[in-house]
Structure 1
């Protein structure tokens, strides 16, 4: 039996290899690998796949968020430009309305001034005619008074009135 053990031991004097121990260790190593594959490697790979999927989903979500942010930014810029354009249009409309209103006010003021001027001229003309009429009446009464003193007994009162009225008409026509 010694020879069998001797054959299994190679260089046992120096701590050589023993074939049986090596085969037993190899067997247990293979069993350990099989157990690791079944109980550790599978769950570990599942965890790694889940982690990989989670990271991919997070990257995809980040890309989607970035795209949405860019879209929102573009929409905000478009809305800002639209608001600016509307504000500019409102300003232009207000300016044109102000100019139009200014022109209307000036036209109304000119019209009112013309109306006042025409009314004043009409009042002046009326006052002038009243003054002329008053003057004519005064002249007529003075003429009658003078004429009555000059020709007191030669003309009758009706003849004097007739003469004065003719004189007043002549005076009025000369003007």
Structure 2
């Protein structure tokens, strides 16, 4: 019906070259009906889709903002954890240095104590060797004295002979050593 009216209107307008108010009103009514149909069937769903798209984009923007704020929060947490880990590492290094210094001092003290112990042991050993040497010399002197006394008893000597005899025995004892 619409198409036949348009065709009739076009045919009549070709026949009439003057101003036709009925055709204008008819075309205006048809345009308004067309707009109403477009609004109901095309514009409404199109606007619904556009609204859905706008709300989807807005939700995506909100999600992106939320993700960005969460990423910044996580980044701040990671930075804090990294700073804490660096501080802990610094404390561990300082503790290790202190422990090393303490162990070094303990080793030095132990080495000094061992040195003193060895020195004292060496002194005791030297004293023992000295006492042994003195004892040995005393025993030799005693045996020499006995030997000299037995020789003196065997013969009576003058003072010069006695000195000569003592010198010979001392030389003889020195050679035996």
**Whose RCO is larger (CA < 8 A, sep 6+)?**
2
Deviation by residue 1:60-115 (Cα, 9 ceiling, x = unmatched): 01101110111111011111101111110111011011101110110111011001
1:123 aligns with one of 122, 125, 131: 125
* Structure 1 position 16, deviation (Å): 4.3
C-alpha separation in 2, matches of 1:17 and 1:118? 143
Tell me the residue number matched to 1:66: 68
What TM-score comes out, normalization by structure 2 length? 0.75
Residue aligned with 1:17, SS: coil
Residue aligned with 2:86, SS: helix
C-alpha separation in 1, matches of 2:67 and 2:19? 64
Where does structure 2 lack aligned partners over 5 or more consecutive residues? 1-15, 156-177
Query: How do residues 74-153 of structure 1 correspond to structure 2 at under 5 angstroms?
Result: 74-151=76-153
Residue aligned with 1:30, SS: helix
Tell me the residue number matched to 1:45: 47
C-alpha separation in 1, matches of 2:34 and 2:103? 99
C-alpha separation in 2, matches of 1:75 and 1:130? 81
Tell me the residue number matched to 1:7: none
What TM-score comes out, normalization by structure 1 length? 0.76
Count residues in correspondence: 141
Tell me the residue number matched to 2:173: none
C-alpha separation in 1, matches of 2:96 and 2:110? 20
Tell me the residue number matched to 1:24: 26
* Structure 1 position 25, deviation (Å): 0.8
* Structure 1 position 149, deviation (Å): 2.0
Tell me the residue number matched to 1:57: 59
Where does structure 1 lack aligned partners over 5 or more consecutive residues? 1-12, 154-175
